[in-house]
Amino acid sequence: MYRELFSFTFENGFFIMSKSNFTILLILISVLSPCHAVSQTTAGAQITLQIQDYCLMDTNGAPVNLSLTSSVAGAPISTVSNSDMFVRVSSVTPGGTYRKITARLTSGTVPSGTRLTLEAALSTNTNGAGRCGVASPLMILSAIDQTLIHGIGSYYTGTGITDGYKLTYTWGPYNPTTDYHLLNATVVPATLTIMLTISAPDGNNI
């Protein structure tokens, strides 16, 4: 059966389509025209992430000057201490491993009849964070490496002048009762060099 969809009239030399027919024609063109949908594409990117095993150490550079004397007649010279030096550390270790800091005397000689000791206090973590380790007991400095702090993991102390591990150097008569006669006044101050070393990660060095 034939059904007329559109009708036209001829007027002034032109075919005129009715308004309703024109609307229907536009709808049909829209439906019958090819559909151009916006397509989606994806792309992959490979990213490599690595945290380096590294360690940095320095001191605040504070001078350590110790002088033995006495101001009381009949009294022995007094032991003196200095706690101005701080050791700053930045450390990242592989899982399950730790670092340690050792100290030894590398040049100079401790005057006869005296002893020089070193003790570390752990960082307060005011400006740092992480695993700061454990401080070892007071040591008598010698030419042999001794552990000052152990069990240092991934940790940073901060960079301030008093951030880090506080070192206390103490100097005085070794044994005043038996060795006081070994003391000699020094015309020129004795200059010593203390070497601090931080080790590579060691899983057994907790």
Residue 22 has pLDDT above 60, yes or no: no
Span 89-100, average pLDDT: 93
Q: What is the pLDDT of residues 35-89, one digit of tens each?
A: 555 688 999 899 999 999 999 999 999 999 999 999 899 999 999 999 999 999 9
Q: Where are the domains of the chain?
A: 54-61+77-198
Q: What is the pLDDT of residues 148-162, one digit of tens each?
A: 999 999 999 999 999
Long-range contacts of 117-121 (CB under 8 A, 24+ apart): 117/141, 117/169, 117/170, 117/171, 118/148, 118/167, 118/168, 118/169, 118/170, 118/194, 119/167, 119/168, 119/170, 120/87, 120/148, 120/149, 120/165, 120/166, 120/167, 120/168, 121/165, 121/166, 121/168
Q: What is the pLDDT of residue 124?
A: 81
Residue 5 has pLDDT above 80, yes or no: no
Q: What is the pLDDT of residues 111-153, one digit of tens each?
A: 999 999 999 999 888 899 999 999 999 999 999 999 999 999 9
Global pTM reads 0.77
